[in-house]
Structure 1
């Protein structure tokens, strides 16, 4: 688990078990930069231990890298439990205070969700990750993926070999992949030794089974059931964002939320902030500001878009520039 959670040592393990899916990488910090000279610019940088893409971004030049390392810091409180685990349960030379610089990947991004039960790796599903145009901020996650089936099969094969290689068992996991259709190559972005909680509603709407049910089965020593009869053909987690920090003057009331769920019974609403808050009061990715998630199911992607637009009207936020 700690191997997966530490992005640098996860890359070393990927290099061992699935080298064809592993981009070039180097560990860096304010004081340690020698290995990064092996990488071409532009490159991508992120903390070796992070949350929801916080502090992750592309860098175009060595000057950008130097500025990043001199000015970006990881909150100390966030790292305390992780660094304690690294110190007491591993022989790793690098704790969570470092960054990993990586070869920049291009293509279509997805997340593969799976599980391991008594050494057998199972597939739950693959979710498309859609970015806001011109940014690295997620605009929505849509299940099932629209990738060709041969690409999805290749991703699952990579997942099987890697998860088996590191010895992960009796657990859920998710792997973020990038598919470059120009070269027909699949690369691992990162792996997490847990479920992607944001996708639980999506799998329940389409597969008929929540990842919490799958986790419950594994914990109780039972082989999980992954698919029954879901109510929808497609589902999405819609990520509502602003591109600038603002103050929230109005957030949806309980009555407005109930009205939206009466209109769309499957709707799940997850606000990140409340009236009076600044968008920057919660941890963000550094390039935009999330204020809520809206989860919906539909017969197809067109209907999904229509339901999303109506849901935003039913769940109004009002912002004030600062």
Structure 2
């Protein structure tokens, strides 16, 4: 009998990836909700999304063998609710929120690995005395602020002065309820400690600034066993917080990677997360030889799918599908055609702008043909404003992504330059 797997927000690119996985010959993938509803938008009506998903599942004439996703909020938080109702495998809502609710997550980290957890406190951005209360929590300039629930690097700010905090607060007050209110709906479904229930969806975190070489450890938990399986470097543009490219495998020293993997096992075991994929972002401060945890994400990183396929032979969506079906993930290592792989982000550093010109589909295809196996996705169209792009960081806009592999890192960078010479973007009405 065929296995029926429902994928929230399934698009054409990921449908193609899924068909290349191991052991899916007897699996039928079904879309559940559209990308426009769960990823290509900044507004999420959680009760309506859940109701529509349930209506689709209730109307299905067949077995529901797995419900999965590969997207951050709101998909990640919908999965435990839907899987519990339909009896499919996933972690519990409470264990997921111990990762996604940033204050609860930091509290969990502090209990088990305090030496790798920065100082932190929660605050209400609508509280006019928030800055003084942050100071009372022993946080001094500089510090970092972000929502207790966000997506990507959205609404994250480095604070070096009261003026920076005033600017960040203005932005947070204007936009934070877009995710805060739907996140409150998810929190209302969970059994929360009183301390956590007091930290509502529109609250924010203030954290000690940490830094160094950034990376992400991808892993999963299968029947209580925590299994890290890859480390990916996150390389930033010089002097800014925006990412330039993700590189796999990591170039960090093996001993540092093993330290991160051991921390990963401790933290995820302590949280009680189970039968789902995840990733944890880390910093290694080379000067102090200190490893810091940045945050936990309750999904595989979609940006890393092609990197694993190029280097290891299969997208790590293998993990998501196998776990959803109750199988131990069949994730290979080193069986791909490339030794290294990267996703590059072509960014512009404007407050906003109008897209005056974007490459045509034919131009993108010609550019991709310069490097065997390269894939390019442009996120903008002529006439749109950059501010229409969802899930952008506070300092730049990613207008295109380029995935490619090579036999060494320097060749990757050279190839990226050759590809970008073929792509021509122009902007008007630029706000610097």
TM-score where L is the length of structure 1: 0.95
Structure 1 position 249, deviation (Å): 2.1
Separation of aligned partners in 2, 1:255 and 1:64 = 43
Structure 1, gaps ≥5 residues long: none
User: Which of 266, 270, 281 is the equivalent residue of 2:377?
Assistant: 270
Whether 2:260 is the aligned partner of 1:155: answer: yes
Question: SS at the partner of 1:82?
Answer: helix
Check whether the contact 1:247–1:276 (CA below 8 A) recurs between aligned residues.
Answer: yes
Whether 1:232 aligns to 2:338 is yes
Provide the alpha-carbon RMSD of the alignment: 1.7
Q: Find out whether 1:106 has 2:214 as its counterpart.
A: no
Identify the match of residue 348 of structure 2 among 242, 248, 252.
Answer: 242
Per-residue CA deviation, residues 43-79 of structure 1 (Å, 9 max, x unaligned), is 1111111112111121113443244335532343333
Match of 1:18 in 2: 113
Counterpart contact for 1:36–1:101, Cα < 8 Å: no
d(CA) in 2 for partners of 1:80, 1:122: 34
Describe the shift of the 1:75–1:102 C-alpha distance in structure 2 as closer, same or farther (beyond 3 A). closer
TM-fit CA distance, 1:305: 0.9
Distance change in 2, residues 1:251/1:190 (3 Å)? same
1:88 paired with 2:183, answer no
**C-alpha displacement of 1:237:** 0.8
The structure 1 residue matched to 2:425, chosen from 278, 302, 317, is 317
Kept in 1: contact 2:370–2:418 (CA 8 A): no
Candidates 55, 65, 69, aligned match of 2:165:
65
| Mapped pair 1:56 → 2:156 | yes
Once residues 107 and 162 of structure 2 are traced to their aligned partners in structure 1, the CA distance between those partners, rounded to angstroms, is: 24
Cα separation, partners in 2 of 1:62 and 1:246, compared to 1, 3 Å: closer
How far apart are the structure 1 equivalents of 2:382 and 2:163? 39
The separation in 2 between residues aligned to 1:264 and 1:60, in whole angstroms, is 42
In the TM superposition, 1:86-235 aligns within 5 A as 86-91=187-192, 92-228=197-333, 229-235=335-341
SS at match of 1:130: strand
Aligned: 1:77 with 2:178: yes
1:12-42 Cα shifts (integer Å, max 9, x gaps): 0111121111000010123163244211211
After superposition, the Cα gap between the structure-2 partners of 1:238 and 1:71, relative to the gap in structure 1 and judged at 3 Å, is: closer
Partner Cα distance (1:130, 1:18) in 2: 25
Bigger drift between 72-81 and 297-306 goes to: 72-81
- Measure how far apart 1:292 and its partner are: 1.1
Q: 2 CA distance for matches of 1:216 and 1:203?
A: 15
Contact 2:356 2:383 in 1 (8 A): yes
Q: Is 1:28 paired with 2:133?
A: no
Structure 2 length-normalised TM: 0.71
Q: Distance in 1 between matches of 2:171 and 2:344?
A: 32
Check whether the contact 1:137–1:287 (CA below 8 A) recurs between aligned residues.
Answer: yes
Give, in angstroms, the shift of residue 321 of structure 1.
4.2
Q: 1:35 to 1:286 in 2, by over 3 A?
A: closer
Match of 2:411 among 303, 309, 314: 303
Give the Cα separation in 2 of the matches to 1:9 and 1:75. Answer: 18
Quick check: which has more Rg, 1 or 2?
A: 2
Partner Cα separation in structure 2 for residue 36 and residue 7 of structure 1: 19
Q: Tell me by how many angstroms 1:227 deviates.
A: 1.9
Where does residue 290 of structure 1 map in the other structure?
Answer: 398
Shift of 1:269: 1.8
Counterparts of 1:100 and 1:304, CA distance in 2: 36
What secondary structure does 1:154 align onto?
Answer: helix
Residues 17, 165 of structure 1: 8 Å contact kept: yes
Aligned residues: 322
Conserved 8 A contact 1:142-1:236: yes
Distance in 1, matches of 2:309 and 2:228, equals 15
